[in-house]
Amino acid sequence: MTKGPGAPAAAHPGRPAAAVPAVWNIANMLTMLRLLLVPVFVSLLFADGGHDPKWRSVAWASFAIAMITDLFDGELARRKGLVTDFGKIADPIADKAIMGSALIGLSLLGDLPWWVTAVILARELGITLMRFWVIRYGVIPASRGGKIKTLTQGIAVGMYVLELTGWLATARAVLMALAVLLTVGTALDYVGQALRMRREGLAAERAGR
């Protein structure tokens, strides 16, 4: 029987159909672990008044595990062909949830100035909205500067989670200052890319009319 035009085409003889990755793969499980660690981390951060060195060390361990999963889940998904729509949505949510909870928690405890938290969170929200603004014209790729920014932020915030004194406290302040500079610098770079992408996209649309 001949299939109608709306019916799916038969598989080519001898050619295996492309396998669709399962939602519950190792990459997505790491992402879910990071999401589940958010309330655990917050509870540990505020345990016993929020300034007990022992609890802060345990909170740092949970934060470090979350950051490590962030390094591996995306790379595993790309290398093993495990990229899913769920992962595309859940991964950035998990990233922002763990970092945002750490920044806000540290500011609530008085360990990190609120303006630092505001700058970093405003940048992350702004870049996310900007990506959607230009998505019809293309995807803004993560830059090397953006990756360095993320790494620097993670290390600096992790050091603030720990109860440090002396030169280590000074070192984390310097590292956080560098993280803020990278946050602002990479934001300006992304804005430039977005404006250029939108301008070129609009020009292409006008030329196609």
Taking alpha carbons only, the member of 176, 54, 161 closest to residue 102 is: 161
pLDDT, position 130? 82
Lowest mean pLDDT among 10-14, 119-123, 198-202: 10-14
Lowest mean pLDDT among 5-19, 120-134, 184-198: 5-19
Residue 25 and residue 127: Cα distance in Å, rounded?
A: 28
Q: What is the mean pLDDT of the chain?
A: 82
pLDDT, position 9? 45
Using CA of residue 196, residue 198, residue 204, residue 206, what is the dihedral sign? negative
State the average pLDDT over residues 161-179.
95
- Other beta carbons within 10 angstroms of residue 132's beta carbon come to 8
Is residue 2 very low, low, confident or very high in pLDDT (cuts 50, 70, 90)? very low
pLDDT, position 69? 84
Is residue 18 very low, low, confident or very high in pLDDT (cuts 50, 70, 90)? low
Give percent of the chain with pLDDT exceeding 90.
44
pTM, to two decimals: 0.79
Is residue 7 very low, low, confident or very high in pLDDT (cuts 50, 70, 90)? very low
Q: Does position 28 have pLDDT exceeding 90, yes or no?
A: no
Give percent of the chain with pLDDT exceeding 70.
78
Residue 126 and residue 174: Cα distance in Å, rounded?
A: 25
Residue 186 and residue 23: Cα distance in Å, rounded?
A: 32
Q: Does position 17 have pLDDT exceeding 50, yes or no?
A: no
pLDDT, position 3? 45
Taking alpha carbons only, the member of 61, 22, 24 closest to residue 41 is: 61
Q: Does position 79 have pLDDT exceeding 80, yes or no?
A: no
